Every structure is written in structure tokens, then in C-alpha cells.
Structure 1
């Protein structure tokens, strides 16, 4: 285990860069159709509402993942290479979210597109939870003054999004719209 401040800072900076790039990539799919005429701009903007909704949802979710990642790193004092590998796995999931959002934008009413998006979100949440659990297990990488209650609370909160997204995969097979509505449960729980 390393107590190398520069090494820990580099992990944080790299993570921040991946989060920032993923959020930026979300906006690349937001564009009017190439054949938009001046008199149909308003109509074409309205037709893009589902894409704006997917963009906003993914932007908020990635932002919330960044906030919790940032919050976790306030407690992490050391790192080892398995922790770095788990963090890379989390960042790989974050980097895949713009693609999952693009699939959802293009096929927003298809069961498999909604289920795929939920699966990607679920895996991201599980990686985030694993990162926190690994760091806090037996105070492996965190300060011993961090209370067990705080560790437990943050672990339980980390599990909420992946559980909601896991449940929505089944819902997507019944109703893609209902599955997408269920994602709002995450916001209700946190706020």
C-alpha cells in the first residue's frame, strides 16, 4: 500500500479527466438533422426532446457519480494497485455511458435499448460500490477515524442506483417507458 500523495493525486486527476470527457461526449449526439430548413427549426428542436431528456439524465447521473467519487477520495489516504485497477474499471464504465446514451436516444422505445442503458448504469454503480467497499474493508485505504456507520451509510447509498437500474432491466421487457420512469426513484431516494 502506498501513501504517496502525488500518486493519489494523479489517480484523482486522471479520474476527473475521464468524467469530464464522458460528460462532454454526451453532447456530441445533440444536433439538428442535416436537412433542417429555417422554417422547421422549432419543429425539429421539439422532435429532439427525447434526446435532450437522455442527455440530461446521463449528464446528471455521470455528475452524481463524479460527486460521489470526489466524496470518496476525501476519505481515501492510500492506494494499492488493485484499487487502481478497480478505479480503471469504474472509469471504463463511465466512458461507455455516452455510447449507452446514444443507443437510448436512437432507440428510446425499444426494450433492448432501455435494458442496455440500464445494464450499463447498473455496472457503473456496482463498480463504484466495489471501489468504495474495497477501500474501506478493514480500513484498508481509509483513515481509521472514519466511522463504521459512515462507511455503512455510504455503501448503502452506493447500492441504490445499481439496484434501481437492475430492477428496471426487468421492467424494460414489460414497458420501456415504465423502466425509464423508475429511474426517477434514484432522485427521490437521494433528495
Structure 2
């Protein structure tokens, strides 16, 4: 298969745009309280804390997915239309995260909503893992100089976010706040 740098660049540029728009949509959901409330400034900020918490979590997660996407595409040298289709699936998942975040902002204490959010993140992580595994399988679309050990390490690293979010689904059945706190393990492990 011939390398098509322009085609590969277009895939990356389109992906970057979807990531950027998704992160921007997160911020559009943040709304200040209605009307002046000079005597309640501190309590208003406390009331808005869950909204900002969801925003920060989703911003960091989408940001980590973008960093990861960027990192993995450094090793991808060629593409085919299966890779393009998997990438579109991943981008569809990324684009749905502002909606899941909005639900988490509004109904963040409900186990079902925490489970839905975590499930969206599991599917997103699995799509990213699938993208990498498809590209790396038998050096299908990656550079042959990449060691098999590095390929395995990158594959394991891709599985961390969906594994953490899947584990949080089980935790949410007992305590939704603890499930949300468990998501921080992703940053601790990946950074």
C-alpha cells in the first residue's frame, strides 16, 4: 500500500477539528446563575461546583483522548478505508461526550446517569483501542521499525481508560460519587 501523506494529514486535521469542537461544546453548557445575587456569591459557586466538576473531568478526558490520538497517529504511516471508518466511529463517540457531560451536570447523583457517562467513555476507549489494534496488527498501517514490545505497550495503554470506566460502572451501583472519583485513576496511570 502506497503512503498518501495528504490523505493521512486530512484524517488527522478532521480529527483535530472534531476534538476541538467537542471541547468547545463542553464550555457552552456552563451557565452563570440568573439575576444578580451579590449576597450569595459563595453559595452560588458551591451550587455550580458539580457543573464545573463535570466540565473539568470531560475536558481532561477529551484532552487525553486527543493527546493519545495524536501520539498513536505518529506511528501510523498509511491508511485504508477501514481505518477511516474506525476513526469516524471514534470521532462520533468523542462528539457525543458533551451530551453525556450535560446529563452528568444535571443528574450527576443518579447512578443511571453516572453509568451512562461511564459507558460512553468505555465505548470511546474501546474505539480508540480498536483503531490502534487495526493499524498495528501485523504492521498493517504502521512503520515496521516499531518494536513488538512497544506495540504491546501502546495497546495496553489504550486499554486503561475503558478499563477504569468499566470498573466505575460496578462502583456506581454502590456509590455514584465514588465511581466519579475513580475516574481520576486514568490521569494518575497515564501521566
Which runs of no fewer than 5 residues in structure 2 stay unpaired?
none
Corresponding position of 2:160: 160
Q: 2:31 & 2:160 partners in 1: Cα distance?
A: 33
Corresponding position of 1:31: 31
CA distance change for structure 1 residues 132 and 30 in 2, over 3 Å: closer, same or farther? same
Corresponding position of 1:175: 175
Corresponding position of 1:6: 6
Quote how far apart the aligned CAs of 1:36 are.
Answer: 4.4
Count how many residue pairs are aligned between Structure 1 and Structure 2.
191
Quote how far apart the aligned CAs of 1:2 are.
Answer: 4.8
Give runs of ≥4 in structure 1 deviating > 6 Å.
none
What SS class does the counterpart of residue 173 from structure 2 fall into?
helix
Corresponding position of 1:127: 127
Q: 2:38 & 2:13 partners in 1: Cα distance?
A: 43
Please list, as runs of the form range in 1=range in 2, the aligned pairs for 1:66-145 lying within 5 A after superposition: 66-145=66-145
Q: TM-score, length-normalised on structure 2?
A: 0.96
Query: Contact 1:77–1:143 (CA<8 Å) still a contact in 2?
Result: yes
Query: Contact 1:115–1:172 (CA<8 Å) still a contact in 2?
Result: yes
Q: 1:176 & 1:52 partners in 2: Cα distance?
A: 17
Quote how far apart the aligned CAs of 1:174 are.
Answer: 1.1
Quote how far apart the aligned CAs of 1:44 are.
Answer: 1.5
Q: 1:26 & 1:108 partners in 2: Cα distance?
A: 15
**RMSD of aligned alpha carbons:** 1.2
Note the alpha carbon deviations across 1:123-145, whole angstroms, 9 max, x for none: 10000000000000000000100
Query: Contact 1:32–1:45 (CA<8 Å) still a contact in 2?
Result: no
Q: 1:51 & 1:133 partners in 2: Cα distance?
A: 35
What SS class does the counterpart of residue 174 from structure 1 fall into?
coil
